[in-house]
Amino acid sequence: MAKKRVLFLCTGNAARSQMAEAIAHAFHGDVIDPVSAGSRPAGFVHPLAIRAMAELGISMDGATSKGAEQFRTQPFDVVVTVCDSAAKDCPTWPGAGRIEHWPIVDPSWGPDDPATRFDRFRETRDELRRRIDELAASLGESPS
């Protein structure tokens, strides 16, 4: 089976979409060819996103915040918006087989307590893993 191209979009491409790309690559890279981008790229990958992924043994070395416009002319089997802002900024995508919206709250917002904030990144990571497992199953692969 040919890999399905999947674009994960959020606003800053600093946390949620970056984690989604890394999860899809690590657990479903045999059927998903993932990329991520932001409608307004932050210019960095959030350190807590990197740390949360490292807990799963996934390295995000070399990950960079990318803009959605660089992918505008590329075809994707699935485009997934992982925040309401990206869904609003990019309600359609030329060449997308289908578009899904996953309204996942930005884990970097909220109380400044370091432990609480990191717990939100873990929860976001785990929610993304669950949804990506479901996506992979819908594309013809069993969850890992």
Q: Which residues are catalytic?
A: 10, 83, 90
**Contact 118/48 with Cβ under 8 angstroms?**
yes
Q: Residue 54: helix, strand or coil by DSSP?
A: helix
H/E segment holding residue 61? none
Helices (H), the chain: 16-28, 47-54, 84-89, 114-138
Which of 45-49, 70-74, 93-97, 116-120 is the least confident region? 93-97
pLDDT of residue 86: 55
User: Whole-model pTM?
Assistant: 0.91
Residue 144 within any structural domain of the chain? no
Q: How many domains does the chain contain in total?
A: 1
Which residues, including other chains, have CB under 8 Å from residue 132's CB and lie 6 or more apart?
A: 20, 23, 24, 27, 28, 32
**Contact 25/131 with Cβ under 8 angstroms?**
no
Residue 29 within any structural domain of the chain? yes
Average pLDDT over residues 3-25: 95
Residue 52 within any structural domain of the chain? yes
Which CATH number do you get for residue 115? 3.40.50.2300
Q: Residue 84: helix, strand or coil by DSSP?
A: helix
